[in-house]
A and B are shown apart, each in its own frame.
Chain A
Amino acid sequence: AQRVTQPEKLLSVFKGAPVELKCNYSYSGSPELFWYVQYSRQRLQLLLRHISRESIKGFTADLNKGETSFHLKKPFAQEEDSAMYYCALKTGTYKYIFGTGTRLKVLA
């Protein structure tokens, strides 16, 4: 079955602390994985994708095919990182499966 699992509904960290948002996937094909973010009162937008291997706003994510994971990490959380984060798996040429999301709260 094709599935994306985000085990944490809510993650609270203090400003300056490291952050790791977990994402595991189930897919028999070659996965394409993404992190989307939704800030308060804004639309859902792409944060980063695994094929780009880039760091966006200090966030990185590494695809681990052995553990079927794509965890999102940032070494030092900022208050403006507070948002809803969704992990997404692209299956085929156009279909995306989203996880249930993790709300990140960065406390001052």
Chain B
Amino acid sequence: DTGVSQNPRHKITKRGQNVTFRCDPISEHNRLYWYRQTLGQGPEFLTYFQNEAQLEKSRLLSDRFSAERPKGSFSTLEIQRTEQGDSAMYLCASSSSDMNSPLHFGNGTRLTVT
């Protein structure tokens, strides 16, 4: 499968713990996005990378959230001191810089904070 890959698929953690998710985009895509989706909602934009540069962060992304994309390849999203409100599906997507290139989504990581 040459699509966007996300790991792990599911993560259950206790409140206060740190978690890290990984996203491997389609190899030739230089744009990478993180979205969060809660029940009954559509995907909400969190952050965007062009190559290794993080060009935008949503106000939804508190100081407990950090994302990186070293070398412009895979990306990680870390949540520190998790709260129950962080429980959601975290989606990664990638696209090329072609203006007509659509978003290609991964299967997501479902986080449950107990």
Contact = CB atoms under 8 A, between A and B. Distances in A.
Interface of A: 4, 6, 9, 34, 36, 43-46, 49, 51, 86, 88, 93-101
B48 A95 contact: yes
A99 B41 CA distance: 7
B91 A44 contact: yes
A94 B3 contact: no
Given A9-B40, A94-B48, A95-B56, A46 B106 contact: no
A91 B31 CA distance: 15
Contact of A45 (B33, B45, B105): B105
B103 interface: yes
A93 B33 CA distance: 13
Interface of B: 3-4, 31, 33, 35, 40-45, 48, 50, 55-56, 91, 95, 99-100, 102-108
B18 to A, nearest CB: 26
A94 B31 contact: yes
Contacts, number: 50
A98 B43 contact: yes
12 contacts: A34-B102, A44-B43, A44-B105, A45-B104, A45-B105, A49-B100, A88-B42, A94-B31, A94-B55, A95-B45, A99-B42, A101-B42
Contacts of B108: 43
B47 to A, nearest CB: 11
Given A51-B100, A100-B42, A101-B42, 20 more contacts: A6-B42, A36-B103, A43-B3, A43-B4, A43-B108, A44-B91, A46-B102, A49-B102, A86-B42, A86-B43, A88-B42, A94-B33, A94-B56, A94-B95, A95-B56, A96-B43, A96-B45, A98-B35, A98-B42, A100-B41
Contacts of A101: 41-42
Contacts of A94: 31, 33, 48, 50, 55-56, 95
B75 to A, nearest CB: 15
Contacts of B100: 49, 51
